[in-house]
Amino acid sequence: MLLKKLFNGSDAAGFWVLAAIGLMLVWVSVANLALPADHPLHVSTYTVTLLGKFLCYALLAVSIDLIWGYAGILSLGHGAFFALGGYAMGMYLMRQIGDRGQYGNPNLPDFMVFLNWHELPWYWQGFEHFWFAALMIVLVPGLLAGLFGWLAFRSRVSGVYLSIITQALTFALMLAFFRNEMGFGGNNGLTDFKDILGFSISDDRTRIALFVASGLALIGGYLLARAVVRSRFGRVLVALRDAEPRTRACGYPVARYKLLVFVLSAMLAGVAGALYVPQVGIINPGEFSPLSSIEAVAWVATGGRGTLFGPIIGAFAVNYSKTELTTLAPELWLFFLGGLFILVTVFLPQGLVSLFRRKAKTPPASVTKADVTEANTTKAKPTEAKS
Amino acid sequence: MNTQPTVLSNFSLPLQWTLRLLLQWPLQWLLRLSWLVLMALLFLPPAQAESIAPGSATVSALAEGGMARSQALNDWIEQPPADPADAAALHALNHDRLFVHTTAPARLGVEHADGQLRDPASGAVLGTSTDTGWEKIRLNNAIRIKLRPRIDLLDLRAPDAAVRHAAAEDLFSARLTPAYVQEIKALIPTLAEPETQAKLGQLVAGFELNDPNPQVRLAAVAGVADVLDPEIRARLAPLAENDPDPTVKAAAKAALDSIQRRVDVWQFSQNLVFGLSLGSVLLLSAIGLAITFGVMGVINMAHGEMMMIGAYTTWVLQQLLPNHLSAALFLAIPAAFVVAGLVGIAIERGLIRFLYGRPLETLLATFGLSLMLQQAARLIFSPLNRAVALPEFMQGSWALNPVFAITFNRMYILIFSLLVFFALLLLLKRSTFGLRIRAVAQNRQMARACGVRSGWVDALTFGLGSGIAGVAGVALALITNVGPNLGQNYIVDSFMVVVLGGVGNLWGTLVAGMGIGVLNKFLEPYAGAVLAKVVVLVLVILVIQKRPRGLFPQKGRAAEE
């Protein structure tokens, strides 16, 4: 009965998910800070960090859903924007270390001293200011997405082609960031952070603040994405997702719509990455690996794309399973993840949320016409991808 | 007296150099010094090292042992052998088969395989190696190093061409004194093969480049003008820089320039061949994808794992047939094709056919599958990399000159990839099965109406693509380690190749694979391996912007779909 109420309203489900997140933010903060460590309801800092990580992942999932669920752009390289946001934050945190590094150089991060560099590269200038780093956190992913999207959408690269070249993009970035000469710490990445905005990064209160910030960012990102998809702009996105040639024929500049939503999504991913880095305390090129990006796509697919709140559920569900499974039986995790991909795509194309949705009276708005028609035919379409 | 310093051969490897510096020079000098002292004390005249007849001065000194023996050996080795007996005794010395009778009469005996000692000259049996009075002449390193060019020089007169060739090669790394160089020079005109003559001519010229006489230097420069060896170049460079004689200087400069031009040309060819070799690996990994993705339109992210299966098949077969590496390899090709093909058919029937027409879902599901297959490999074969041994005929490399060399395994893979490519092309264009594949790909409904069982054709086509990926895995196993991540490393590259070449176009795949390979190798010297790869990926992305359907898009009705 509660479920019915949940999923019947226009965005009642989204509201409840947000409410649950809000509740979790308050409860975890209180339980971690106010309750003594031996209290049965005390939430450990480890759990706080873990949940904070999940919140960042959820924001990344929402950003992917915004383009995949509503504009039909499957990016297999969204981890790249997440990582770029993370690196921007990491650079700020590195500059905050000051002369407390191993080599005690007030100007240069340890790895640069190690590489015998004598001055800060130009692209590190300005990162000692938080406002500058914050700007870069959205600008760098946004610019890359803008450039990449402009090139791709202008020449109508879509469907699986786009997916593959986004994967190539993140793969190329990973290789590049692994190089020491890039000036981003190479293999080890950026780590050993000391404080953020003057607060010690290992302090419980800072951790709670970061956790709450991640939660608020997720709520903000969700509301922003919802505003976008409910606007006229969003309706055009759904139209081009379902019938791109027709939308184009109606006179809409399809490439521009896609580009805008792609850039917005990349910025959201950048913010998610930026909040992720101070909580886990490290950012390295591994975040660029195609596998991380594809895992993020798995959260969205599992939760249910095209619903915005589904990916949040998916991110939490999959990552919680990952945490549990990798401690219980680490060798089974990849089987689980792989199996999840197969089960969800074959049996639950609309994700976990569709389990509840079927009970709803109204037909779900996000099942695309293309999906329905394509699912009924066995005809392979080698060059066109619309899902 | 052997006090003049030996001229170190500049053709030796750095390692040998280091060893010599560390071990042999100090030892040798110590030995020489002690000799000088000894000689000065005894006022002995220098030994006459000519005859090895019983009772001669040399043989008596050898029989004496200790320092006298060392000195006698030195002097003996330095002289060109006087007669066949002398040569036979030197060969025996080299093989630790020369014995000396320490008590009177002092004489030499060569140990034969039956343990009998025979006179080097007459061949008369003198006794056995275990008889009292006979002692084996043992060599220290200093003597051995001196003996080496002497034996080489003897071998240069051997009737067997292979022995002569090996001796000429060996002289390049032996330590030569000016006397030896003169001897070699005198020997050159008597040699049969022009090839060996030219080789030794270079060797001598290399030494004469440092001759004090400008005429000799000039002649030497002319002699090495067509030699690509880096050692010769290194010797020419100082002459071209600051030779006191302007003619020699100019000649050296001209020679160096012409050598440099030729080296550049060879380096270019080397890069080209390396690029084609890399391209052939890309081609092999992409051909299967050109079928599943290009012809069927199925995005198979588990394609790399089909290669992994092929590679593991090779490894397992080698484990089963450890003594027949070549046989295991040739068996692995069909075996990998069958195993990977069957897995492919199972995947198509069990998963992909439910997802036709939903490419993005296919992508995700097959990606999930690839994760599971990788993990399965990790559990079955352990996460460690396995190495596949190269059979005899694939080992080694083909060196045309010092600048240009290609390893045999790379060359075979290049040939193999082209064979696979053309076999597939033939199958698709000329066989009934190929006709059916193309018919189903172009118009499924019509093909079905004509009686083609499209479901089976799908399964078999997918099996074919996967089987070829398995065969690619066999080749990959030969150049890289076999591990669970083997396929993953190639999947992005192979998709790039297929997309760049134009989906559904096998020739495009060939051109794109080779093109990416060659581009990569030519960028590497400027950008390093990793950056070259990044640059290539970015370039491919940019090319796809310009030509979204690849370099060679399908035309006509097939492109309408």
**B261-296 pLDDT per residue, tens:** 888 898 888 889 889 988 998 998 899 888 888 788
Greater pLDDT, B137 or B461: B461
Q: Is B55 helix (H, G, I), strand (E, B) or coil?
A: coil
Q: Where are the alpha helices (DSSP H) in B95-140?
A: none
Residues in chain A: 387
Q: Would an 8 Å CB–CB cutoff place A372 in contact with chain B?
A: no
Tokens of B555: 């035309």
Q: Would an 8 Å CB–CB cutoff place B497 in contact with chain A?
A: no
Region B289-304: mean pLDDT is 86
Question: Largest Cα–Cα distance of chain B, in whole Å?
Answer: 111
C-alpha distances (whole Å) from B385 to each of B140, B308, B477, B489 are: 44, 12, 11, 14
Among A62-66, B73-77, B197-201, B524-528, the range of highest mean pLDDT: A62-66
Instruction: Count the alpha carbons within 13 Å of A155 in the hemisphere toward its beta carbon.
Output: 17
CB A157 to CB B548 under 8 A?
A: yes
Domain count for chain A, please give it.
1
A107: in domain: yes
Q: For position A240, what pLDDT does the model report?
A: 92
Place of tokens 């939660």: A215
A384: in domain: no
A165: in domain: yes
Query: What residues make up the domain containing A162?
Result: 2-376
Of the listed ranges A137-151, B108-122, B214-228, B513-527, the least confidently predicted one is B214-228
Q: For position A359, what pLDDT does the model report?
A: 53
Q: Spell out which residues of chain B touch residue A64, defining contact as CB-CB under 8 Å.
A: none
- Least CA distance to B371: which residue of chain A? A338
Q: Count CB-CB contacts under 10 A for residue A5.
A: 11
Place of tokens 């190539």: A168
CB B372 to CB A334 under 8 A?
A: yes
Q: Tell which B residues from 288 to 317 touch A, by Cβ distance under 8 Å.
A: 294-299
Q: Report the residue from A74, A167, A378 with minimal CB separation from B360.
A: A74
Name the minimum distance, in Å, from the CA of A345 to any CA of chain B.
6
Banded pLDDT at B5 (limits 50, 70, 90): very low
- Least CA distance to A158: which residue of chain B? B548
* Mean per-residue pLDDT over chain A, rounded: 86
Place of tokens 């510096």: B21
Full DSSP string of A263-292:
HHHHHHHHHHHHHHHHHHTEE-GGGGSHHH
Greater pLDDT, B558 or A11: A11
Give strand pairing partners of B397.
B407
Q: Spell out which residues of chain A touch residue B499, defining contact as CB-CB under 8 Å.
A: 161, 164-165
Banded pLDDT at A280 (limits 50, 70, 90): very high
C-alpha distances (whole Å) from A191 to each of A85, A108, A118 are: 15, 14, 20
Q: How far apart are CA B367 and CA A290, in angstroms?
A: 11
Name the minimum distance, in Å, from the CA of B144 to any CA of chain A.
47
Residue A257 has pLDDT above 90, yes or no: yes
Name the minimum distance, in Å, from the CA of A224 to any CA of chain B.
26
Q: Is A3 helix (H, G, I), strand (E, B) or coil?
A: helix
A222: in domain: yes
Q: For position B561, what pLDDT does the model report?
A: 42
Name the minimum distance, in Å, from the CA of A370 to any CA of chain B.
9
Greater pLDDT, A2 or B256: B256
Q: Is B225 helix (H, G, I), strand (E, B) or coil?
A: coil
Q: Is A121 helix (H, G, I), strand (E, B) or coil?
A: coil
Banded pLDDT at B37 (limits 50, 70, 90): low
Region B519-537: mean pLDDT is 82
Full DSSP string of B472-516:
HHHHHHHHS-B-TTTTHHHHHHHHHHHHHH-TT-HHHHHHHHHHH
**Inter-chain Cβ pairs, chain A and chain B, closer than 8 A:** 164
Tokens of A203: 């302090």
> What is the pTM (predicted TM-score) of this model?
0.74
Q: How far apart are CA B288 and CA B467, in angstroms?
A: 7
Instruction: For A152-180, write each residue's pLDDT tens digit.
Output: 888 888 788 888 889 888 988 998 899 88
Instruction: For B470-491, write each residue's pLDDT tens digit.
Output: 999 999 998 888 999 888 878 8
Q: How far apart are CA B293 and CA B26, in angstroms?
A: 68
ipTM, 2 dp: 0.79
Greater pLDDT, B410 or B3: B410
Of A55, A56, A78, A53, whose CA–CA distance to A66 is shortest?
Answer: A78
A155: in domain: yes
Q: For position B22, what pLDDT does the model report?
A: 60
What single-letter DSSP state applies at residue A382? Answer: S
Residue A7 has pLDDT above 70, yes or no: no
Q: How far apart are CA A103 and CA A109, in angstroms?
A: 9
Cis amide bond preceding B334, omega within 30 = no
A385: in domain: no
Q: Count CB-CB contacts under 10 A for residue B145.
A: 16
Name the minimum distance, in Å, from the CA of A158 to any CA of chain B.
9
Banded pLDDT at B26 (limits 50, 70, 90): low
Q: Spell out which residues of chain A touch residue B533, defining contact as CB-CB under 8 Å.
A: 172, 175
Greater pLDDT, A4 or A174: A174
Banded pLDDT at B213 (limits 50, 70, 90): confident
A67: in domain: yes
Q: For position B195, what pLDDT does the model report?
A: 75
Residue B559 has pLDDT above 70, yes or no: no
Q: How far apart are CA A164 and CA A145, in angstroms?
A: 15
A386: in domain: no
CB B369 to CB A342 under 8 A?
A: yes
Region B324-334: mean pLDDT is 91
Name the minimum distance, in Å, from the CA of A333 to any CA of chain B.
9
Q: For position A105, what pLDDT does the model report?
A: 84
Start-to-end CA span in chain A (Å)? 33
- Residue B117 φ then ψ, to 5°: -100, 130
Greater pLDDT, B527 or A55: A55
Among B7-11, B330-334, B352-356, the range of highest mean pLDDT: B330-334
Q: Tell which B residues from 536 to 555 touch A, by Cβ distance under 8 Å.
A: 537-538, 540-542, 544-546, 548-549
Q: For position B15, what pLDDT does the model report?
A: 55
Neighbouring residues of A59: CB distance < 8 A, sequence distance ≥ 6: A214, A217, A218, A221, A268, A269, A271, A272, A275
Residue B208 has pLDDT above 60, yes or no: yes
